[in-house]
Amino acid sequence: MKKTTELYAGKAKSVYNTDHPDYLILSFRNDTSAFDGEKIEQLERKGEVNNKFNHFIMQRLEAAGIPTQLESLFSDTESVVKHLEMIPVECVVRNISAGSLCRRLGIEEGLELTPPTFELFLKNDALHDPMLNESLAVTFGWATEEQLTKMKQLTFQVNDVLRRLFDDAGMLLVDYKLEFGLFKGEITLGDEFSPDGCRLWDKKSREKLDKDRFRQGLGGVVEAYLDVAARLGIDMMGPVGKS
Ligand code: UDP
């Protein structure tokens, strides 16, 4: 597989074309952003850590029967992925209250949510990712009803797999955001799963081990990501190019 021209540059990742029309290369940069790109910093090694973290998680999800875009690691900071036609809707599941849920509904942080909640947001930085519902997504053509049903089902399936995975490693999966796309007509999990797009707390101390460390200026961001990776047994030093 050969990397060719840049297709798109997002806030933390860049996407490149390859010599195969069905595949892209996802490049994880060290850029770390919060508040719709208002706060941006370079954090050393973050690109590599998230690339390898994402690869590990996507492999676990794939093994559990969830279709993902991930093909293989390409370099320390890059992965080969399927070329999806992205659906501009973010799916968020929450197991414990935090973040925008607390701000929006005046709820205290740290409450166990039973059953876990499911929310949709429009992927649009200029509008600060406004909250959506299924009716709006269908009427404005962002996704069909069938696609939304599948996305919701897969998002909860991810919860079943990852809640247990993190729990076994002494962590709480507080919430996370997923993005989906279409590959040859099939709903497929895209984007990334890393501590940049989820909340993870230590089970005992409830210490934050995710991007909230960056948002809240707590420091030790990449160190926390590496701690999470180590607890999961992810090899950060291993050879790249095999998956
Ligand atoms: N999230 C994300 N990208 C976004 C918005 C949210 O990855 O553009 C993730 C976020 O890291 C958290 C979950 O989705 O794990 C829920 O985020 P929330 O709605 O609480 O918003 P926030 O407090 O991050 O603004």
The CATH number assigned to the domain holding 53 equals 3.30.200.20
Same domain, 74 and 132: no
Query: Looking at residue 243, what is its pLDDT?
Result: 42
Q: Single out the residue of 207, 177, 174 nearest to residue 193, CA to CA.
A: 177
Same domain, 100 and 216: yes
Same domain, 111 and 79: no
Name the percent of the chain lying above pLDDT 90.
Answer: 96
Same domain, 161 and 49: no
Section 42-63 average pLDDT: 98
- Whether residue 241 is predicted with pLDDT greater than 70 in this model: the reply is no
Query: Looking at residue 37, what is its pLDDT?
Result: 87
Let me know if residue 207 belongs to a domain: yes
Query: Looking at residue 237, what is its pLDDT?
Result: 82
Q: Tell me if 213 CB under 6 Å of ligand 1.
A: no
Q: Could you tell me the pLDDT band of residue 36, with boundaries at 50, 70 and 90? A: confident
Let me know if residue 174 belongs to a domain: yes
Full domain range(s) for residue 178: 85-220
Section 133-160 average pLDDT: 98
Ligand 1 centroid–CA 19 distance in Å is: 34
Let me know if residue 240 belongs to a domain: no
Q: Single out the residue of 102, 84, 86 nearest to residue 199, CA to CA.
A: 102
Beta strands in 57-170 (DSSP E): 70-75, 78-82, 85-96, 112-122, 131-132
Section 199-224 average pLDDT: 98
The alpha carbon of residue 36 and the mean position of all alpha carbons in its chain are separated, in whole angstroms, by: 15
Atom of ligand 1 nearest to the CA of 36: 8
- Whether residue 239 is predicted with pLDDT greater than 90 in this model: the reply is no
Q: Could you tell me the pLDDT band of residue 52, with boundaries at 50, 70 and 90? A: very high
Let me know if residue 228 belongs to a domain: no
The 3-class SS string of 27-55 reads EECCEEEECCCCEEEECCCHHHHHHHHHH
Ligand 1 centroid–CA 198 distance in Å is: 7
Same domain, 39 and 118: no
Q: Point out the domain boundary residue: 83, 105, 128.
A: 83
Same domain, 118 and 188: yes
Q: Tell me if 76 CB under 6 Å of ligand 1.
A: no
- Whether residue 70 is predicted with pLDDT greater than 70 in this model: the reply is yes
The total number of structural domains in the chain stands at: 2
Same domain, 93 and 52: no
The CATH number assigned to the domain holding 103 equals 3.30.470.20
- Whether residue 242 is predicted with pLDDT greater than 70 in this model: the reply is no
- Whether residue 203 is predicted with pLDDT greater than 90 in this model: the reply is yes
